[in-house]
Amino acid sequence: MPTIEELNGGFNLGEWEIFPLQGLMRRAQEEISLTPKNVAVLLALARRDGNLITRDELIDEVWQGKAFSDEPIQQQISLLRGFFPDKKPYEYIDTLHGRGYRLLKPVELHQRPEVLEAEPAKEDLRSLRRWKAVTPPYTSSAYSTVMARSAVSDACTSSSLSTLSPPAMRQSSCDYCT
């Protein structure tokens, strides 16, 4: 059975694409907005992936046990059937009289792209650390200029001014050290 996290990534149900986090169902050029209750009922059904969900389970999951009759469940199922449009004989949501509901179409999760692992940096990490020292996290431009000049002055002795200073401060000779 798929998890809520997997289902929230989107899934297909027959010819429909379901996007729970956006509250949307889409088929070709047709798009339907879903209410949070519509989504909650559809997710509860999809988590079972064709297996029975009882009315009590629906009440617990969707209404946190606060529904006192079957009417809200019947309204939501009826709305979802109307969105699909699902007429008798039902193709999407089946009623098992006296027991509950189940999906008739298989749930197909959307495939998430594989996350590529980053390759290690090939640059000398010391130059990156020095650059961070040149650009402090403060927004005051006067403070930034003083700190940057100080860092450039310190760096001049190591003869790597061009890699340590920002482009606006690069010069052919170092005015800050003299």
* Domains in the chain, number: 2
Residues 13 and 76 in one domain: yes
Res 126: pLDDT: 54
Distance CA 122, CA 80 (A): 54
Please name the amino acid found at residue 104: L
Res 86: pLDDT: 85
Res 113: pLDDT: 59
Which residue(s) pair with 32 in the sheet?
A: 25
* In-domain check, residue 119: no
Distance CA 120, CA 174 (A): 33
Tens place of pLDDT per residue across the chain (178 aa): 899 999 999 999 999 999 999 999 999 999 999 999 999 999 999 999 999 999 999 999 999 988 778 899 999 999 999 999 888 899 999 999 999 999 999 999 998 655 555 555 555 555 555 444 444 454 444 444 444 454 444 545 444 444 444 554 444 455 545 4
* In-domain check, residue 177: no
Tokens of 14: 């027959």
**Please, how many CA atoms are within 13 Å of residue 82, restricted to the half-sphere of its CB?**
9
Residues 89 and 159 in one domain: no
Domain that holds residue 131: 125-169
Res 65: pLDDT: 87
Residues 86 and 142 in one domain: no
Q: How many CB atoms lie within 10 A of CB 24?
A: 15
Residue of 140, 38, 20, 157 whose CA lies nearest to 93: 38
Give pTM, 2 decimals.
Answer: 0.62
| Residues counted in the chain | 178
Contact 126, 109 (CB under 8 A): no
